[in-house]
Amino acid sequence: MGARGANRRNIERRREQLRGFASDRGGQLIVVSNRLPFISEKKKGRMRFKRSPGGLVAALDPALSRRGGVWIGWPGAETEDAASAAEMVPAVRSSDKVRYRAVPLSRREVAAYYGAFSNRTLWPLLHYFLARTEIHNDSWEAYERVNEKFARAAVEESTSADLVWIHDYQLMRMARYLRRMAPDRRVAFFLHIPFPSYDVFRILPWARHLMRGLLSCDLIGCQSQEHADHIMSCAEQLLGATVDRGHGVVFFEGRPTAVQAHPIGIDFELFQRLAAKAVGAAPSPSDPLEILSVDRLDYTKGILERLRSIEVFFERYPEYRRKTVFVQLCVPSRTAVQEYQDLKRQVDEAVGRINGRFSDGGWAPIRYLVRSVNQQTLVALYRSARVGLITPLRDGMNLVAKEYVAAQSESRGVLILSELAGAAEEMKEAVLVNPYDVEQVASAIHRALVMPGAERRSRMLALRHRVSVGNVQSWVHRFVASAEDAADRAGDESRVESRTDIVRRKLHPWLSKRPMAVLFFDYDGTLTPIVKRPEQAVLSVTGRRLLRRAMRTPNLDVAIVSGRALGDIKRMVGIPGLTYVGNHGFEIEGPGIEFHHDALQVYQGAVESASRDLREIPVDGMWVERKGATVTVHLREVSQDECGAAEKRVAAVLRHHKLRVTTGKRIVEGRPPIDWNKGYAVLHVLALRHGVDWISKVRALYVGDDVTDEDAFRSLRGMGRSIRVGPATHTEADLTLPDPAAVIELLGWLASGAFDVDRV
């Protein structure tokens, strides 16, 4: 009893220390993964540590350093107790705010939980290799025990303000135990590998247990929308959970769990720098054309099927013999496991047979490398290859495809990609193939080699833009923000469908039919409530944060459209990189756009004269705002009795100066008498940014509250969608929202990338 009491006091002291690291958003980041982010080994009686390679570690370390936090995982060596495991944690930290917590695992636990259940049950099943899936109750029980160990460590290292981020298939039950021990924890899970369909997943005797583990999280993240759809289907069919596919939410045991696709990226800038150093990597015209594949030696990677495709290629196209070399780099994996030894033997034999069949005069068709290489060498291989041949039989994402693209700094290469890899959902400009169809893959290789230079460059430039925007740093930021939003929403269990929910449900299928959405938001009365004086319309902290997040979301393009002067609206929003439309469309500035309507000069004198005359009208509370091409008279502080008469006098002055009169919410505006308004400005932005055929490429959504916004609603009628904010007896908008608070809620959903891209 005394020992347990002392342990409890130690835990409480640790929690008090952790509270000191809380971020402004409300807590630390607690990362939980099967392995800690370093490799430890004992040499001459001393522990030595080396950081694990890989973009995930490089991305999570800065996030932990900014917020403060703990990385929990197995240190990599078998041990029976926590004290021994603690010795395997390095004293050197990436930041004073980052600590490591080792979870001790015995040799038996490592063999059963990791070697057996994780790698011989879950790994093959989740990759659709049913014949390789082993079902053993002993390994399942070990998996349960180890997941409970990890959960206990996370409870001891966290508080209710923290976000616990669990990684990958080895820990699919951990959240269930964590939620039982500490119901108030904020928990998110990310699956780095595929999640299969219901018909495959239900083969597992413990499928329902695993689903309950996942649904104990506030957010389940995965690599593609296909995987998210499978998770929701399994929740519905295995557990009878209520599923709202429009919102991507599963309701189970009285609480909601968000299920979202968050495709992981790479450190694009790092690969850019490494490619720049690979100065000798560019081949000369006399060098053989290189086709490159890079894989961990694993049966899911389709290496044997790929070699058969290479053989068919040289059979079909003999003119490429002696001119082309296929380079297969295999990184050794699980070398002590018999089935991986068998796979290597089969690959060795296939390479030997194909080289023996086609080799001629010192030329061999396949260059076969079985070893690990450093990143600089790998990037040099990527950069010199004319074709990147990435054809796994099934993959959650496949970052090799993105690495190849990032290293193609001269945009000469062609990416051939398996349509069964998660990356195919994003990388549509690649040549997509079925990896099982060896004839199709052989034809794709030929197509890539004869592809015109302009087409190669166009495809690669588009891929490089996509990979650069969706980098791993952006992935971490978006996932953490989405997880915290999901945790906030999970607190309200009796939530009734709101007007925002209805709008989201109606927008979702429409948005999902295009890879990008262009969002246009009015400012006053839309993003901010209507106030007496324009300078009081301050954008909320949440609104600004969500606009920043929307700007960073790869499939969103955001513009602010306002009747305010351009300089004024840019100052009020204060976010560089957005597109700003001021003066009801007479002035536009944004990335690649700078537009000032000719009317600014032509009608400047008339607007100035009208402004002087309007200031002479003796009405208490009325004031005049000069805005370049337009003039606005504000009547919000004028008494109700005088407002009607004042409006008529103002309109008469504006008409006298040949200006067009527009009325709004207690305002009267004078504009040049030309056919130009917010609607024309919106179409102008769409055409400049996305081409005259924008309707076939993007979805356009306009949100506004005023009479002047009706022009935009009409312009987008039949081509886009529009939302009127506030009460309206008549509107051209497709949908309505009650107030700016509902708009901010909708913005949060859009900024999370919540709508998926149709995979037709």
Band (pLDDT 50/70/90 cuts) for residue 6 is very low
- Tell me: do 31 and 79 sit in the same domain: yes
Asked whether residue 390 is domain-assigned, the answer is yes
Higher per-residue pLDDT: 79 or 521: 521
CATH of the domain at 310: 3.40.50.2000
Quick one: pLDDT at residue 91?
Answer: 54
Question: How would residue 16 be classed by pLDDT, with cut points 50, 70 and 90?
Answer: very low
Asked if pLDDT for residue 23 goes beyond 50, the answer is no
What is residue 111's DSSP assignment? I
Among 411, 432, 460, the domain boundary falls at 460
Residue 619 and residue 536 share a domain: no
Count CA atoms within 13 Å of residue 704 on its CB side. 30
Q: How many helices (H) and strands (E) does the chain have?
A: 27, 29
Same domain, 292 and 375: yes
Q: Check pLDDT > 90 for residue 313.
A: yes
Side chain identity at 198, as an amino acid letter?
Answer: Y
* Average pLDDT over every residue of 451-459: 95
**pLDDT of residue 17 exceeding 70:** no
Number of domains composing the chain: 4
Residue 7 has pLDDT above 60, yes or no: no
Interatomic CA distance for residues 396 and 670, integer angstroms: 57
The answer to whether residue 482 sits within a structural domain is no
Tell me whether residue 522 is one of the annotated catalytic residues: yes
Neighbours of 110 (CB within 10 A): 19
Same domain? 666 vs 680: no
Q: Where among 245, 261, 277 does a domain terminate? A: 261
pLDDT of residue 24: 44
Q: Is residue 477 part of a domain?
A: no
* 685 and 745 in a common domain: yes
> Does pLDDT of 736 surpass 70?
yes
In the prediction, which pLDDT does 222 show?
A: 96
pLDDT digits (tens, 9 = 90+) for 575-616: 999 999 998 888 999 998 999 888 766 777 777 778 787 787
DSSP 301: G
Whether residues 659 and 692 fall in one domain: no
Matching residue, tokens 């693209």:
405
Confirm whether pTM is higher than 0.75. no
Same domain, 552 and 434: no
Over residues 189-248, the pLDDT tens digits come to 999 999 999 999 999 999 989 999 999 999 999 999 999 999 999 998 887 777 888 889
Whether 479 is covered by a domain: the verdict is: no
Where does the pLDDT of residue 44 fall: very low under 50, low under 70, confident under 90, or very high at 90 and above?
low
In a domain, 488, yes or no: no
Sign of CA dihedral 189, 195, 198, 201: negative
Q: Are residues 216 and 360 in the same domain?
A: no
> What CATH number did the domain enclosing 576 receive?
3.40.50.1000
Shared domain for 205 and 306, answered yes or no, is no
- Quick one: 452 exposed, middle or buried, by C-beta within 10 A (0-12, 13-18, 19+)? exposed
Residue 219 maps to a domain: yes
- 274 and 399 together in one domain: yes
For residue 53, tell me if it sits in a domain.
Answer: yes
- What is the rounded distance in angstroms from the CA atom of residue 279 to the CA atom of residue 276? 6
pLDDT tens for 473-518 read: 999 999 999 999 999 888 655 445 567 778 877 898 898 888 889 9
Among 625, 641, 671, residue at a domain's last position: 671
CATH number, domain containing residue 612:
3.30.70.1020
Condensed to tens digits (0 to 9), the pLDDT of residues 721-732 reads 999 999 866 889
pLDDT at 494: 40
pLDDT bracket for residue 757 (50, 70, 90): very low
Per the DSSP assignment, residues forming a β-bridge with 41 are: 48
Residues 149 and 232 in one domain: yes
- Please identify which of the residues 168, 218, 395, 522 carries the catalytic annotation: 522
For residue 366, what are its two tokens? 């396949």
Same domain, 256 and 274: no
What's the rounded Cα separation, in Å, for the pair 180 and 497? 28
Residue 743 lies in a domain: yes
DSSP character for 584? G
Give the structural domain span for 611.
601-671
